[in-house]
Amino acid sequence: MKFTKDHEWVEVAGDIATVGITAYAAEQLGDVVFVEVPEVGKTVKQGDQLAVVESVKAASDVYAPVSGEVVEANETLGDSPETVNALPEAGGWFAKVKLSNAAELDALMDRDAYEAFLGTL
């Protein structure tokens, strides 16, 4: 699993990257009440807005940690957005993106680096 400074995580299997927000982000947001997932087929560039997550405290954009085409969106979040709080780094994933540039992954943090980054916040 790789991480961004915007608190997204990405896990790659083959050329498919699953994207979500980290446990830290989910805890900071508080109770998530709504998630807007991207449309399947949408092409995103690294850093583009991918999804919107809304909690009782705030509404935030989720950015694409990698470039590619959205091949699947987690539609179950529509009915149960609380999964983002319960299982942020598993069932609370937002979208699956087919990688168009796997080299982008190299610049992302591993878990140790991300933990160290959190220590600086």
Partner 1 sequence: MSGIKIMRYLPLTPEDRADMLGVIGAESIDELFVDVPAVARRAQPVDLPFHAGELEVEREMLALSRRNRAASEGPFFVGAGAYRHHVPATVDHIIQRSEFLTSYTPYQPEIAQGTLQVLFEFQTQVAALTGMEVANASLYDGSTAAAEAVMMATRVTRRNKAVLSGGVHPQYVGTVETLAHAAGVATDRLPAAIDAEDAVIAAIDADTACVVVQTPNVFGTATDVTKIAAAAQAAGALLIVVTTEAVSYGLLKSPGEMGADIVVAEGQSIGNGLNFGGPYVGLFACKEKYVRQAPGRLCGETVDAEGRRGFVLTLSTREQHIRRDKATSNICTNSGLCALAFSIHMSLLGEKGLRRLALVNHQKAVKLRDALAAVPGVQVLTPRFFNEFAIKVPGNAAELVETLAANGVIAGVPFSRLDPAAGLDDVLLVAATETTPDGDIALFSKALSKVLAQ
Q: Is the dihedral of CA 70, 72, 77, 78 positive or negative?
A: positive
Contact, 4 vs 65, CB < 8 A? Answer: yes
Neighbouring CB atoms inside 10 A of 9's CB total: 25
CB of 107 to partner 1, least distance (A): 26
CA angle 35, 41, 45 (to 5 degrees): 80
CB of 3 to partner 1, least distance (A): 24
Strands 16-21 and 95-99: antiparallel
Does residue number 54 form part of the binding site for partner 1 (CB under 8 A)? Answer: yes
Does residue number 72 form part of the binding site for partner 1 (CB under 8 A)? Answer: no
CB of 82 to partner 1, least distance (A): 16
With CB under 8 A as the contact rule, the residue among 15, 27, 30, 34 that binds partner 1 is 34
Euclidean distance between CA atoms 14 and 106, whole angstroms? 15
Residue 21 or 108 with smaller CB distance to partner 1 = 21
Q: How many residues bind partner 1 (CB under 8 A)?
A: 8
Does residue number 48 form part of the binding site for partner 1 (CB under 8 A)? Answer: no
Site of interaction with partner 1 (CB under 8 A):
34, 36, 39, 52, 54, 58-59, 61
